[in-house]
Structure 1
Amino acid sequence: MRRKILLLDTGREWGGGTNSMLELLKRIDRQKFDITCCFYNNYSRGNSETIESILNSIGIPVVFIAQRRQPKWAKITKELLRTLFIFNRSLKKQMIDQVDEKWRVLPNAQQISSILQTGQYDALYMNNQPSTNVEGYHAVQGMPVALIQHCRIEPQMNSALVEMVNERVDAVIAVSHGVNLTLRQSGVDAQRCFTVSNAIDIHQVLPHREEVRERFAYSPDTFIFGSIGSLITRKANHHIFQALGQFKRMHPEAKWKMVVVGSGPEHENLVQLARKENIETNVVFTGFQNNPLDYLAAFDAFILASRSEGLPRVVLEAMLVKTAVIGSNVVGTSELINHNETGLIFEYGDVNQLSVHLAALWQDASLRQRLINTAESRVRECYAIENYVAGVEMILEKSIERRSHV
Structure 2
Amino acid sequence: AAIDIPLLILPTRHQPWWAKLAKELARGLLPWRKPLRVAAVFRIELAWRIRPRARALAELLREGGYDLLYMNNQPASNLEGYLAAELTGVRVIQHCRIEPRINTVERDIINRIAHALICVSHGVRDALIRQGVRRELCHVVHNGIDTRQPFPELQPLAGVVSNTPVIGTIGSLIKRKSVAHLLHAVARLPQDLTPHLLIVGEGPEATALRQLADELGLTARVTFAGFQKQPLPWLAAMDVFVLSSPSEGLPRVILEAMLLEKPVVASNVTGSKEVVVHGETGYLYDYGDIDALAAHLADLLRNPAKRQAFGDAGRRRASADFSIEAYVAGVTKVLEAA
TM-score w.r.t. length of structure 2: 0.95
Residue from 333, 339, 356 that aligns with 2:295 = 356
Bigger Cα displacement from structure 2, 72-81 vs 180-189:
72-81
How far apart are the structure 2 equivalents of 1:67 and 1:200? 33
How far apart are the structure 1 equivalents of 2:53 and 2:246? 30
After superposition, the Cα gap between the structure-2 partners of 1:177 and 1:216, relative to the gap in structure 1 and judged at 3 Å, is farther
Residue from 140, 160, 183 that aligns with 1:241 = 183
The superposition leaves residues 102-130 of structure 1 with CA deviations (integer Å, 9 ceiling, x where unpaired) of 22111211111111011010011101111
Matched position secondary structure for 1:62? coil
Query: Aligned AA for 1:335?
Result: E
Q: Is the CA contact (8 Å cut-off) linking 1:153 and 1:309 kept in structure 2?
A: yes
How far apart are the structure 2 equivalents of 1:372 and 1:241? 23
In the TM superposition, what is the alpha-carbon distance from 1:217 to its structure 2 partner? 6.4
Q: Is the CA contact (8 Å cut-off) linking 1:221 and 1:255 kept in structure 2?
A: no
* Structure 2 residue 315 is the aligned partner of structure 1 residue 376: yes
Residue aligning to 2:92: 147
In the TM superposition, what is the alpha-carbon distance from 1:220 to its structure 2 partner? 2.7
Bigger Cα displacement from structure 2, 152-161 vs 195-204:
152-161
In the TM superposition, what is the alpha-carbon distance from 1:177 to its structure 2 partner? 1.3
Matched position secondary structure for 2:117? strand
How far apart are the structure 2 equivalents of 1:318 and 1:277? 27
In the TM superposition, what is the alpha-carbon distance from 1:154 to its structure 2 partner? 0.6
Q: How many residues align?
A: 338
RMSD, aligned α-carbons? 1.6
Matched position secondary structure for 1:141? helix
Matched position secondary structure for 1:125? strand
Matched position secondary structure for 2:66? coil
In the TM superposition, what is the alpha-carbon distance from 1:218 to its structure 2 partner? 4.3
Q: Is the CA contact (8 Å cut-off) linking 2:199 and 2:225 kept in structure 1?
A: yes
Q: Is the CA contact (8 Å cut-off) linking 1:213 and 1:219 kept in structure 2?
A: no
Residue aligning to 1:226: 168
Residue aligning to 1:315: 254
How far apart are the structure 2 equivalents of 1:168 and 1:138? 8
After superposition, the Cα gap between the structure-2 partners of 1:255 and 1:227, relative to the gap in structure 1 and judged at 3 Å, is same
How far apart are the structure 2 equivalents of 1:216 and 1:189? 53
The superposition leaves residues 168-214 of structure 1 with CA deviations (integer Å, 9 ceiling, x where unpaired) of 10000001111111111221111111011101000111125xxx154
Residue aligning to 1:186: 131
How far apart are the structure 2 equivalents of 1:72 and 1:360? 58
Matched position secondary structure for 1:291? coil
Q: Is the CA contact (8 Å cut-off) linking 1:199 and 1:384 kept in structure 2?
A: yes
Query: Aligned AA for 1:374?
Result: A
How far apart are the structure 1 equivalents of 2:21 and 2:6? 38
Q: Is the CA contact (8 Å cut-off) linking 2:262 and 2:314 kept in structure 1?
A: no
Residue aligning to 2:24: 79
In the TM superposition, what is the alpha-carbon distance from 1:356 to its structure 2 partner? 1.2
How far apart are the structure 1 equivalents of 2:57 and 2:169? 37
* Structure 2 residue 75 is the aligned partner of structure 1 residue 133: no
How far apart are the structure 2 equivalents of 1:139 and 1:159? 19
Query: Aligned AA for 1:137?
Result: Y
In the TM superposition, what is the alpha-carbon distance from 1:135 to its structure 2 partner? 0.9
**Can you give the 5+ residue segments of structure 2 that lack an aligned partner in the other structure?**
none
The superposition leaves residues 13-65 of structure 1 with CA deviations (integer Å, 9 ceiling, x where unpaired) of xxxxxxxxxxxxxxxxxxxxxxxxxxxxxxxxxxxxxxxxxxx8332221111
Superposed, which structure 2 residues align to 1:203-352 within 5 Å?
203-208=148-153, 212-214=154-156, 218-247=160-189, 250-251=190-191, 253-352=192-291
In the TM superposition, what is the alpha-carbon distance from 1:159 to its structure 2 partner? 2.0
The superposition leaves residues 70-102 of structure 1 with CA deviations (integer Å, 9 ceiling, x where unpaired) of 333323322222222222222211111111122
Q: Is the CA contact (8 Å cut-off) linking 2:173 and 2:206 kept in structure 1?
A: yes
Residue aligning to 2:3: 58
In the TM superposition, what is the alpha-carbon distance from 1:156 to its structure 2 partner? 0.6
Q: Is the CA contact (8 Å cut-off) linking 2:58 and 2:87 kept in structure 1?
A: no
In the TM superposition, what is the alpha-carbon distance from 1:136 to its structure 2 partner? 0.9
How far apart are the structure 1 equivalents of 2:116 and 2:248? 21
How far apart are the structure 2 equivalents of 1:142 and 1:136? 10
Query: Aligned AA for 1:239?
Result: H
**Can you give the 5+ residue segments of structure 1 that lack an aligned partner in the other structure?**
1-55, 400-406
After superposition, the Cα gap between the structure-2 partners of 1:108 and 1:343, relative to the gap in structure 1 and judged at 3 Å, is same
Query: Aligned AA for 1:96?
Result: V
Query: Aligned AA for 1:144?
Result: G
In the TM superposition, what is the alpha-carbon distance from 1:143 to its structure 2 partner? 2.3
How far apart are the structure 1 equivalents of 2:96 and 2:167? 30
In the TM superposition, what is the alpha-carbon distance from 1:215 to its structure 2 partner? 7.0
Residue aligning to 1:201: 146
The superposition leaves residues 315-359 of structure 1 with CA deviations (integer Å, 9 ceiling, x where unpaired) of 000000011111111100011112111111111111111111121
Bigger Cα displacement from structure 2, 117-126 vs 183-192:
183-192
How far apart are the structure 2 equivalents of 1:170 and 1:241? 44
Superposed, which structure 2 residues align to 1:385-400 within 5 Å?
385-399=324-338
TM-score w.r.t. length of structure 1: 0.80
How far apart are the structure 2 equivalents of 1:73 and 1:153? 33
Matched position secondary structure for 2:198? strand
Query: Aligned AA for 2:187?
Result: G
Query: Aligned AA for 2:113?
Result: R
% identity of equivalent residues: 41
